[in-house]
Amino acid sequence: MICHKAHFYWEILFSLPNLLFTLLILWCHPHPSSSNASMLNWHKHSHRALLHLKTSAPRSQHQHHPLIKFCSTISDSFTVSYLITRFGFSPETALSISRKFRLDSPHRPDSVLAFLATHGFSPFQIRQVIQGQHTILLCDPNNLILPKFQFLRSKGASTSHIIRIATASPTFLSRSLDSHIVPAYQFLRTFLVSDELIIRCLSRDSSVFFSDDPRFPLTAEFLLDNGFTRSAVARLLHMCPSVLCSRDLPDTVHALKQLGFDTSAPNFSAALVAKSTVNKTNWGESVRVFKKWGWSQEHVLMAFKKHPSCMLTEPDEIDAVFSYWVKELGGSSLELVKYPVIFRLSLKKWIAPRASVVRFLAAQGLLERSGNMVTLFIMSEKRFLDTFVKRYEKHSSQLLKMYKESVNMNVANSKENKKKTCL
């Protein structure tokens, strides 16, 4: 109710200046055509009125003439109103955008919206695109946007790929195909060996490649000069392309070398992502949690070098895995030093369901706790089911049911907790 009232009052607010401006037009044009009542012609008259004012006043007075200021304000009102009614932007957001560009009529922007809708964009996705690159509302979509879509399709991109690329990086739609997009694509081709891999990479994060930031080619060259292989750069592009635009990349590479990492080693890319993306506060908190459970600084470094991505896990999730391992399973926290990959596994969806199977087998006397229990939690699902479920034919159906129920229950609980968090 309140929203409807607010919109109603906002519409009234716009109608008053329009009425006043019509009077101004009549003053400038005493014999306008009575049949000319459309929005488009109204704006044509407004521009003539503004031109009349500009040419009749001295140049030094153009900028400060009150009527010219008034004309500009009224002309902007259509832009604001269009952004609110078409996209549901708040008045504040619409006003902010209207300061950067101006719409004269609905014809051109409507053609852009129709074009995007025809190419599979939902209203929400169109809103994302316009919010990120509103100036495309002024373009001819068949001349500016269509050639880019055709280029991507020629490389094997599907409609969903194109939509993901455009919504993730709306600036892509306004870039020059010949001088920006094609060269960027060709540069990616020197690292990613197929069009399929490039399209997949662009679908994940295209903003790095279509921005004005020139650092990507420079940092890629820097990494190659410092022992990185092209396949290692390709791994970075798959994992986290934004790392290649990090201002601190040279310092991060140097710091990792100081820790004993080899730039040519396969795990260096993962270490670079972890060190570049985890802020100092989270990094320090993760180290504190490791030490809380009895690890030394050497243990932390050993785990990081073995599986760098373990530092991407949130500190509270690391703590939860330790707590479950020690208190629920009776294990030693130091057992996990050699298997830090376990911190990248979901406690509820992966570790706990397997623990329920192991507990059942142990209770039946079918399984004794070995000195290396960690491996059964990090092996593939197929191997786990073959080794600990299907192998025991007498109990296999019960074990499989128990395992699946545990997974489904934890997935459902996880979704419910997310819903409560959102509420």
Residue 180 structure tokens: 């920006």
Q: Identify the band that residue 109 occupies on the pLDDT scale cut at 50, 70 and 90.
A: very high
40-54, 187-201, 261-275: least confident range:
40-54
Predicted pLDDT of residue 111? 96
pLDDT tens digits, residue range 51-95?
333 334 444 444 444 433 444 454 468 889 999 999 989 998 888
Q: How far separated are the first and last CA of the chain, in Å rounded?
A: 21
* 3-class SS string, 20-43: HHHHHHHHHCCCCCCCCCCHHHHH
Locus of tokens 């900028």: 63
231 phi/psi in degrees, rounded to 5:
-65, -30
- Annotate 304-318 with b (16+ C-beta within 10 A) or e (fewer): bbebbbbbbbebebb
Work out the number of other CB atoms within 10 angstroms of the CB of residue 322: 21
Predicted pLDDT of residue 420? 31
Listed in sequence order, the DSSP H helices in 293-351 are 297-306, 315-323
Q: Which residues contact 137 (CB under 8 A, 6 or more apart)?
A: 101, 103, 108, 109, 112, 130
Distance CA 83, CA 77 (A): 10
Q: Identify the band that residue 210 occupies on the pLDDT scale cut at 50, 70 and 90.
A: confident
Q: What does the longest C-alpha to C-alpha distance in the chain come to? A: 101
For the chain, what is the radius of gyration of the CA atoms? 30
Q: In one letter, which amino acid is 261?
A: F
Report CA-CA distances (Å) from 320 to 294, 344, 415, 421. 15, 12, 18, 19
Q: Is the pLDDT of residue 389 over 90?
A: no
Are residues 345 and 351 in contact, defined by beta-carbon separation less than 8 angstroms? Answer: yes
Q: Is the pLDDT of residue 260 over 60?
A: yes
Q: Identify the band that residue 212 occupies on the pLDDT scale cut at 50, 70 and 90.
A: low
Q: Identify the band that residue 419 occupies on the pLDDT scale cut at 50, 70 and 90.
A: very low
Predicted pLDDT of residue 271? 95
User: For the chain, what is the total number of helices (H) and then of strands (E)?
Assistant: 23, 0
Q: Is the pLDDT of residue 393 over 90?
A: no
Q: Which residues contact 231 (CB under 8 A, 6 or more apart)?
A: none
Q: Identify the band that residue 139 occupies on the pLDDT scale cut at 50, 70 and 90.
A: very high
Are residues 224 and 268 in contact, defined by beta-carbon separation less than 8 angstroms? Answer: no
What is the DSSP code string of 58-94?
-GGGTTT-HHHHHHHHHHHHHHHHHHHHHH---HHHH
Predicted pLDDT of residue 242? 85
Predicted pLDDT of residue 400? 85
Predicted pLDDT of residue 76? 63
pLDDT tens digits, residue range 218-255?
888 999 999 888 988 998 888 888 888 888 899 999 99
Work out the number of other CB atoms within 10 angstroms of the CB of residue 204: 15
Predicted pLDDT of residue 239? 87
Predicted pLDDT of residue 213? 66
Q: Is the pLDDT of residue 138 over 60?
A: yes
Q: Is the pLDDT of residue 5 over 80?
A: no
Distance CA 348, CA 380 (A): 16
Percent of the chain topping pLDDT 70: 77
Q: Identify the band that residue 177 occupies on the pLDDT scale cut at 50, 70 and 90.
A: very high
Q: What is the mean pLDDT of residues 104-113?
A: 93
Distance CA 383, CA 403 (A): 14
Helix %, strand %, coil % of the chain (to 5)? 75, 0, 25
Q: Round the average pLDDT of the chain to a whole number and report it.
A: 80
Predicted pLDDT of residue 182? 93
6-20, 32-46, 62-76, 106-120: least confident range:
32-46
The three-point CA angle 114-118-122 to 5° equals 85
Residue 76 structure tokens: 């902007």
Are residues 378 and 341 in contact, defined by beta-carbon separation less than 8 angstroms? Answer: yes
pTM, full prediction:
0.69
